[in-house]
Structure 1
Amino acid sequence: MSLMSPSPSGAMGQNLGISSYAIEVNQALLKEDDDLLRQTFLSVFRQHHPQLANKVDVIFALAQAWCMSESDSDFEMLEKRLDALTPDESILVSSAFSQLLNLHNVTEESITARVEKAARLGEVEQATRSTNKSLQRLVNVKGLKPEDIHSALCKQTVGLVFTAHPTQATRQSLLKKYGEIRHAMDRLHNTRLSNYERLECLDEIRSQVQGAWRTDEIRRRKPSPQDESREGLTYFHETIYSGLPVFLRRIDTALKNIGQPMLPLNAKLFSFGAWMGGDRDGNPFVTPDTTRDVVIGARLSAATLLTEQVEKLMYELSMWRATPELKARAQQVQARHAAEGEFLETKKNTYDVVFMSINEPYRLVLSDVRARLQRTKDVLHHCLEHASVNVAEALEADPEAYRDETELLATLHMCYDSLISSGDIHIANSHLLDVLRQVRTFGLYLCKLDIRQESVKHTEAIDAITSYLGLGSYKEWNEEQRMEFLLNELTGKRPLLPPDLPMTPEVADVIGTFRMLAQLPNDSLGAYIISMSHTASDVLAVVLMQKECGMTPMLQVVPLFETLDDLNYAETAMRQLFANPWYFAHINGQQECMIGYSDSGKDAGRLAAAWGLYEVQERLTQVADEFGVHMTLFHGRGGTVGRGGAPAHLAVLSQPPGTIRGTIRVTVQGEVMEQQFGEQESAFHTMDLYTSAVLEATLAPTEQPPKEWRQTMADMARTSCDAYRAVVREDSRFVNFFHSITPVNELGRMNIGSRPAKRRSHGSIDTLRAIPWIFAWTQVRFHLPVWLGVGEALNSMIDAGKLELLQDMFTNWMFFRVTFDMLEMVFAKADPRVVKMYEKALVVEPGLHGFGDELLTKFHDTEQSMLTVMKHSRLLSSSSTAFLQQKLQLRAPYVAPLNILQVSCLKTLRAIEAGKNVDELVPADYKPSEKALALMSRGASKHPFVAGIEDTLIITMKGIASGLKNTG
């Protein structure tokens, strides 16, 4: 059965937009591929563990039976089988189900990529519009002039920022193997293969499956920020750098379809940024030297990737016709070589230059570009080896090195213009055009590094200065006093920072960071983001520190408003800044503000945070309009629903109308990097979704919601927030329950990120980061941060006779619909039976059992209220969600055994932590073999039994995260 088969009916799914026939085809293919990879894995598993393979078969069958029947007896049989495993068997069984879940995800990604490709070919329909369809809609439905659309698109920029937020539980080594499996699956389905080729393809799949199984899936040490940066840069090397110009060609074609010229050479539809190595908010491992290392590493990657492209151009551009200007440049290159006594462009590249002559002017000019790129890399390597060298000065001092892309871009433009003038238009618009666009987007920095630090750190640094100078304590001043001081210093000429200032390690790190930034190439740096921003003085404090540490030009300072109170105060803070003549002149009409989805959700609950974020975007845009400032909103979304996650296209289009005006920045976090950029087709699709959504949101925004809808949403937000905080903040039982029922205290063993789980070592829920907060609830399949408070909000409106109003809002307001579609998906992934299992086994205080029952009652009430508003008889009951429902059903038998094993591990480890003797917990008849001992002792110097239990626990956490795709 082929996805590409024509639909006999042409019927469309209600929301997804895929024909019912195509949905059936996808479901059949998903089942077929899942069976193939499962059987391939079990064959590999049986080869290495023949006796244990039968147990895995039985456990999987029992898990399937329980997931289908929901019978207590089926669960007891499954639990009994898992409890009978020895410690070393538990490691292997948990790893087997974790691998099966990851392989199932590969099948889903493969099917998704095929659907996206078929949609581009017009063979199936999707609800999310491609840029081509958006252009057609804007012309044919909205009546916009094609030239106005072209103008808007040429000015549009989407900023995608890769962060180091640790939600990717799977090791890079395994991700790459899964990628190879995905490619082999794609060849298996999308290519006409001979019998020999099909067998070779199946052998490749088996080889990669075996490679994944024989790889240790546990990170044995925490990654450093440099490791995180290197892993992030792999996506540029593998999909983004080569994929972007291909995508832009598709945009050129889409523009041609509405009678418009291609994108101009100076268009920049995307900019890329990173936080890896720059995000020091609560991460003591991100030091000034760390930031220096990752900047140099990114520049080396950019120079390497560009060198490869220039070398290809050298072989392609063999033409002799050229403009006098280009010929003159070629003669200069040749003369310089002759003057040096060599007909070479560098001593390191001698093999091909001897064949170049003045009759190949493009090759000569490009050979000089390559030589300068090589010299640039030499300088960067020298800087990497000598930590005291000022990187910006080193690049500036060497006349043969490129300090930025300006000269390089000018040379490539000269080649392009020469080809156009010589009549070689098609050659100019081939690979050379792609390279020009790559340089325009990635420069010689690849991705700009944002710097992030918590506001209180800057306050402490300035307080150290004012206290030492006898000016008083900055920390104790009110906002008016702080603003007066900061503005006086910014407009004054005398230096403020004393050279002999005594500094604590924290203050030294803040000042050291600014001094290091002043030594780095400015084009490598993005924005300076202040997390936990509260006031206008938080922004000016960073501007002042840049001035005092010699940063020229200064980085744009971006306040990050996170808690609900900060979101509500954001308008006041920005109004105060814009009203100040010095600051208004300083920003030159451009301002960026970041809004935090994760911490606002943790602070107020998902529904209240969603509305708070909606309103703050409107208010920030309005105050910017009043002062004539262009406001770019930076959306700090996570991959999970609890942290603002949603499909890219819907996430953009559901924003308040009029708040997206050609520019937007969005974080790409954790596992989302792999989902959106791990495969070429996914990367194209991601860029297409953002381009089309931002264009439509800019030119044809949705209508403003009626006042009655807004008032209803505001009332629900207040009710939801109060109900959420009544549990999370005010109920004395909650913290103990949370720490008891979830593995939040054990998450650090996973080593999935360099950053600690808390901003500070002490404190409670408030200091816990949003990621472990969400991750912990996802593990127990409860997803409490997403739904808590929603039921009370809905019921308050229903009791007030507003059910029909809510149903109208769901049908006709995209913001409301997306919010509840995501909520429904999370409910579908939750499982109260699993929650009850954790509660029964792990909550040792009898008084907390009733608390768990109360929360489960709230859970069921919220689900029922949500279904009533959505007019659904049950979860995922609409035809458009049938494919998602099948995905969840296929994953469920893999996840269930991992939950049961996790509970067992938590009970054992917590007993040991409570003082239980390890030997008492080891089964009396357990006599592990040398192979079993080796398995349990990998990377650990502790008791093999304890090490084995810890490994099993880590594997279950990774497997459950993969099974639920971290979407809680």
Structure 2
Amino acid sequence: MALSRAPSQSLGISSYALEVNQALLKEDDDLLRQTFLSVFREHHPQLANKVDVIFALAQAWCMSESDSDFEMLEKRLEALTPDETILVSSAFSQLLNLHNVTEESITARVEKAARLGEVEQATRSTNKSLQRLVSKLQIKPEDIYAALCSQTVDLVFTAHPTQATRQSMLKKYGEIRHAMDRLHNTRLSNYERLETLDEIRSQVQGAWRTDEIRRRKPTPQDESREGLTYFHETIYSGLPVFLRRIDTALKNVGQPPLPLDAKLFSFGAWMGGDRDGNPFVTPDTTRDVVIGARLSAVTLMTEQIEKLIYELSIWRASPELKERAKQVQARHAAGAEGEFLETKKNTYDVVFMSINEPFRLVLSDIRARLQRTKDVLHHCLEHSAVNVHEALESDPEAYADEVELLATLRLCYDSLISTGDVHIANSKLLDVLRQARIFGLCLCKLDIRQESVKHTEAIDAITTYLGLGSYKEWDEGKRMEFLVNELIGKRPLLPPDLPMTPEVADVVGTFRMLAQLPNDSLGAYIISMAHTASDVLAVVLLQKECGVTPMLRVVPLFETLDDLQYAETAMRQLYSNPWYFNHIKGKQEVMIGYSDSGKDAGRLAAAWGLYEVQEALTKVADEYSVHMTLFHGRGGTVGRGGGPAHLAVLSQPPGTIRGTIRVTVQGEVMEQQFGEKESAFHTMDLYTSAVLEATLAPTQEPPELWRDTMKEMASTSCDGYRAVVREDDRFVSFFQSITPVNELGRMNIGSRPAKRRSHGSIDTLRAIPWIFAWTQVRFHLPVWLGVGDALNKMIAAGKLELLQDMYTNWMFFRVTLDMLEMVFAKADPRVVKMYERALVQPELHGLGDELLAKFQETERGLLTVMKHSRLLSSSSTAFLQQKLQLRAPYVAPLNILQVSCLKLLRSIEGGAPVEALVPADYKPSEKAVALLSRGAEKHPFVAGIEDTMIITMKGIAAGMQNTG
């Protein structure tokens, strides 16, 4: 079914296009569900009928909301045997993942149709942004060109454990998505259509027969390898295609193509560098992932060079290129008539090259040097004592960085331009030049992240050993004086015989390792839980003492609400310090944390705190003429600052984005934004257009009345949130009872522990399991708690019209409430009550009733402000509503099964004998025992319950993923 608009419709998100999308989604969902059920029936013919009935009952309950329908569904699920339970839970988890494939496929087709002009989406492409800036805002095209040429969006892939699906499963789902795209190609013959359907069935069967549970925790090296796959599959090849579209868009407004040194995007990574509370990220780990990323970069560049060798068979060349070709020839053994033989390593591919093909000679030399670079890196990987930086620098045949590579490619480019072969120069060679410029020979720069207290402990160990006193006990003034004096001085501070605890040894070892790594592989040093100016200077001093040259830029990460409020003071103190001001050379990066601020104060208070701190940080940077780049530490979920990329950028305070921005890309967001070529293209398009508009045409400053109102609401919201989370003695027990927070570690979805420290509860719990646990029970409490207090207080004070005006005309407020509405649409109080009845002690039910009442009050207040009769009632959210309705019957059985598993596991952990929990008449077959135990050295019943629990968590996570 083609995506096009009806003749009578004007260009826009027409009702016709909406109907087409909805029809396609329903059609694709039915196709994949029936394909899966067919595969399931083939392997489990007797159980297939039960799955059909359970799905039908789940549909009935989701539509009727009847207690009797729910009881029928619950009884059906309770009647399953343990081996049936694990299969049924896995079936519904698979169905949810397949449904997500249909959503991604439809989204990709809509995005492509939008670029073809068949439909128009709410978010603007870069081309549309250029047209708007020129025609509506009267900005000169040359000013737009200058802004775009200096613009950089830095996307940082992190290892935050929010991707519950195994990489092997994601690959299969990706193949299904590609097959679905082919299926919608109207040019398919009947034979091709049947072959495509067979391929879909094959991949569905492969996914079903694959163990969806990670049987061990991934290592940081595993996480890095998984992150790098997105570069191999979509980003590396997709970025030059996107830049070509930008060239065309610029041509449409009368401007030249992007210059060769433009860098619209750069990429970073935290995988293997984020040691904040992760004991598995060691100095050796960091070394491994840096080498691994460089090997990937060299491999990808080698592939591009080999393509160029075959493409550039041209004999005309500039004198400079001919001279370089002669130099290359002289370094190789000469053959008959000036030809030499080059044999590609590890292949049978033999290429004869002549001086009459100078481009091929020069490019073959690049390929040989890339191969030599790969050999050096492999040697470093095998010998952990080798200094990687020195090994690359000391080998004249290896590339230490991309500088020489870029110079040689530029020589080829300039030669083609000089001989009039402009179209050839601006074809494949231009793409490779841009890849070399953006990805270099490191692919993505590794950030290092560590908690501020670790650096304090390291400096304290030094000052205590030297008899200078305890650094930890000094006030901020004394700390700053000491740090600056040591930075100015030339004497070494770090004693070679310093006695170190394991924690201090890890900090010092990390800095010493950084000194041995290629500097172009390293990005920023992030200080999590940063509080003061001394936190920044401590890291600068440790770099100096350990020989990190040139030093990594140091980026404070302000996370809690108190830290956000102190951030301006800390940065002012740094800028006003002459040594530090000279050190940063007019550039500073500051990171703000969405996850921990939300966990600390609630989503609304955190959102406003982040808004204000961006304004304050920009103001103080302007006072000192410092160009500041804000690094947004966003998660995928709304509770951790997630949301559509375009709106997330444009809803920032006006004037805070000036051509540069850094943003984290976490967990499942990597797959959503870069798992498919169309999605990757769309992601880059959204960021480019949003940053360009935010730079050249920022939104208007909100009126003081709106600011005062928002400040009051944030305060009220924070008080309401903390009154429950921090001050209600019942809350921690209620939270641990009603959610599977204590069971999340079984999922093995990330290398780091769920808590920064082993002791403590809510304060030391990371923001991810905090959000994840509430998502599982479909309550999403961290997102809305406190918001109702704020909204309803304003409404009671007669300020409803004011709030409605803010919602209509203030992007920040509108996006905040729109994301909240989506979360409410995904929540289900009936499911929450089910968890409470089954898992929470009766004496805590009163708190549950209070929270449900707050939930309903918040929903009413939200709908009143938005002028909506019900959730997702506007035409713009009709498609989203359909997505949620299609998911609901898959999620409901998983919630019921999860509650059952939690009851059993907690009974076992409480000392109940396993035999007493196994149904008396249950006699598992040998096949059933194998299914339940999966090789685990424990009772098959227990192993099966644990696996079912994990599968339900993964399935519900897929059902609750960010559909915004």
Correspondence for 1:374: 371
Pick one of 956, 961, 965 that aligns with 2:952.
Answer: 956
Correspondence for 2:192: 197
Cα distance, 1:967 vs. partner? 6.8
Correspondence for 2:493: 496
CA offsets, 1:849-894, max 9 Å, x none? 0110000000000000000000000000001111110110000000
Correspondence for 1:648: 645
SS of equivalent to 2:184: helix
> How far apart in 1 are the matches of 2:248 and 2:82?
59
Correspondence for 2:357: 360
Number of equivalences: 962
1:636 maps to 2:623: no
Pick one of 821, 826, 831 that aligns with 1:824.
Answer: 821
> How far apart in 2 are the matches of 1:548 and 1:882?
59
1:472 maps to 2:469: yes
Whether the aligned pair in 2 keeps the contact of 1:8 and 1:21 (CA below 8 Å) is no
SS of equivalent to 1:665: strand
CA offsets, 1:204-249, max 9 Å, x none? 0000000000000000000000000000000000000000000000
1:7 maps to 2:11: no
Where do 1:268-417 residues align within 5 Å? 268-338=263-333, 343-345=340-342, 348=345, 355-417=352-414
> How far apart in 1 are the matches of 2:350 and 2:344?
11
SS of equivalent to 1:777: helix
Cα distance, 1:11 vs. partner? 5.7
> How far apart in 2 are the matches of 1:7 and 1:634?
43
Look up the equivalent residue of 2:121 and give its one-letter code. Q
Correspondence for 2:703: 706
Where do 1:688-707 residues align within 5 Å? 688-707=685-704
SS of equivalent to 2:332: helix
> How far apart in 2 are the matches of 1:50 and 1:850?
46
1:134 maps to 2:133: no
Whether the aligned pair in 1 keeps the contact of 2:61 and 2:69 (CA below 8 Å) is yes
Cα distance, 1:847 vs. partner? 1.4
Correspondence for 1:612: 609
> How far apart in 1 are the matches of 2:107 and 2:929?
42
> How far apart in 1 are the matches of 2:873 and 2:962?
23
Pick one of 230, 240, 243 that aligns with 1:245.
Answer: 240
Pick one of 86, 91, 110 that aligns with 1:115.
Answer: 110
Cα distance, 1:611 vs. partner? 0.1
Correspondence for 2:253: 258
Correspondence for 2:180: 185
Whether the aligned pair in 1 keeps the contact of 2:341 and 2:353 (CA below 8 Å) is no
1:932 maps to 2:928: yes
Gaps of 5+ in 1: none
Q: 1:54 to 1:487 in 2, by over 3 A?
A: same
Cα distance, 1:800 vs. partner? 1.2
> How far apart in 1 are the matches of 2:506 and 2:342?
43
Look up the equivalent residue of 2:114 and give its one-letter code. A
TM-score computed with the length of structure 2 as normaliser: 0.99
> How far apart in 2 are the matches of 1:206 and 1:726?
52
Gaps of 5+ in 2: none
SS of equivalent to 1:932: helix
CA offsets, 1:707-726, max 9 Å, x none? 00000000000000000000
Cα distance, 1:347 vs. partner? 7.4
CA offsets, 1:642-676, max 9 Å, x none? 00001000000000000000000000000000000
Correspondence for 1:946: 942
> How far apart in 2 are the matches of 1:923 and 1:887?
38
Q: 1:399 to 1:317 in 2, by over 3 A?
A: same
Whether the aligned pair in 1 keeps the contact of 2:149 and 2:263 (CA below 8 Å) is yes
Look up the equivalent residue of 1:693 and give its one-letter code. A
Aligned residues: CA RMSD: 1.2
Whether the aligned pair in 2 keeps the contact of 1:9 and 1:21 (CA below 8 Å) is no
Correspondence for 1:459: 456
Look up the equivalent residue of 1:905 and give its one-letter code. C
> How far apart in 2 are the matches of 1:641 and 1:101?
20
Look up the equivalent residue of 1:667 and give its one-letter code. T
> How far apart in 2 are the matches of 1:878 and 1:296?
51
Pick one of 878, 882, 885 that aligns with 2:878.
Answer: 882
SS of equivalent to 1:338: coil
Correspondence for 1:221: 216
Whether the aligned pair in 1 keeps the contact of 2:355 and 2:361 (CA below 8 Å) is yes
> How far apart in 2 are the matches of 1:966 and 1:452?
26
% same residue? 88
Whether the aligned pair in 1 keeps the contact of 2:601 and 2:718 (CA below 8 Å) is yes
Cα distance, 1:795 vs. partner? 1.1
1:235 maps to 2:230: yes
Whether the aligned pair in 1 keeps the contact of 2:342 and 2:352 (CA below 8 Å) is no
> How far apart in 2 are the matches of 1:964 and 1:292?
36
SS of equivalent to 1:940: coil
> How far apart in 2 are the matches of 1:259 and 1:628?
33
Where do 1:754-769 residues align within 5 Å? 754-769=751-766
Cα distance, 1:349 vs. partner? 7.3
Pick one of 832, 835, 856 that aligns with 2:832.
Answer: 835
> How far apart in 2 are the matches of 1:73 and 1:607?
38
Pick one of 573, 582, 586 that aligns with 2:583.
Answer: 586
SS of equivalent to 2:592: strand
Look up the equivalent residue of 2:359 and give its one-letter code. Y
> How far apart in 2 are the matches of 1:354 and 1:604?
65
> How far apart in 2 are the matches of 1:552 and 1:645?
36
Cα distance, 1:803 vs. partner? 0.4
Cα distance, 1:190 vs. partner? 2.3
Look up the equivalent residue of 2:617 and give its one-letter code. L
Cα distance, 1:351 vs. partner? 5.7
SS of equivalent to 1:355: strand
Q: 1:138 to 1:853 in 2, by over 3 A?
A: same
Cα distance, 1:551 vs. partner? 0.6
1:915 maps to 2:911: yes
> How far apart in 2 are the matches of 1:833 and 1:354?
69
CA offsets, 1:343-396, max 9 Å, x none? 345773796665210000000000000000000000000000000000000000
Q: 1:711 to 1:421 in 2, by over 3 A?
A: same
Pick one of 524, 527, 531 that aligns with 2:528.
Answer: 531
SS of equivalent to 2:664: strand
> How far apart in 2 are the matches of 1:793 and 1:497?
52
Whether the aligned pair in 2 keeps the contact of 1:532 and 1:562 (CA below 8 Å) is yes
> How far apart in 1 are the matches of 2:6 and 2:776?
40
Correspondence for 1:676: 673
Whether the aligned pair in 2 keeps the contact of 1:467 and 1:473 (CA below 8 Å) is yes
Cα distance, 1:178 vs. partner? 0.4
Look up the equivalent residue of 2:512 and give its one-letter code. R
SS of equivalent to 1:215: coil
SS of equivalent to 2:18: helix
Correspondence for 1:867: 863
Where do 1:593-608 residues align within 5 Å? 593-608=590-605
1:778 maps to 2:775: yes
Whether the aligned pair in 2 keeps the contact of 1:419 and 1:425 (CA below 8 Å) is yes
> How far apart in 2 are the matches of 1:8 and 1:894?
38
Whether the aligned pair in 2 keeps the contact of 1:775 and 1:966 (CA below 8 Å) is no
Cα distance, 1:799 vs. partner? 1.2
> How far apart in 1 are the matches of 2:344 and 2:185?
46
> How far apart in 2 are the matches of 1:545 and 1:54?
65
Look up the equivalent residue of 1:142 and give its one-letter code. L
Whether the aligned pair in 2 keeps the contact of 1:220 and 1:939 (CA below 8 Å) is no
> How far apart in 2 are the matches of 1:297 and 1:118?
38
Correspondence for 1:149: 144
CA offsets, 1:887-922, max 9 Å, x none? 100000000000000000000000000000001000
Correspondence for 1:486: 483
Q: 1:867 to 1:348 in 2, by over 3 A?
A: same
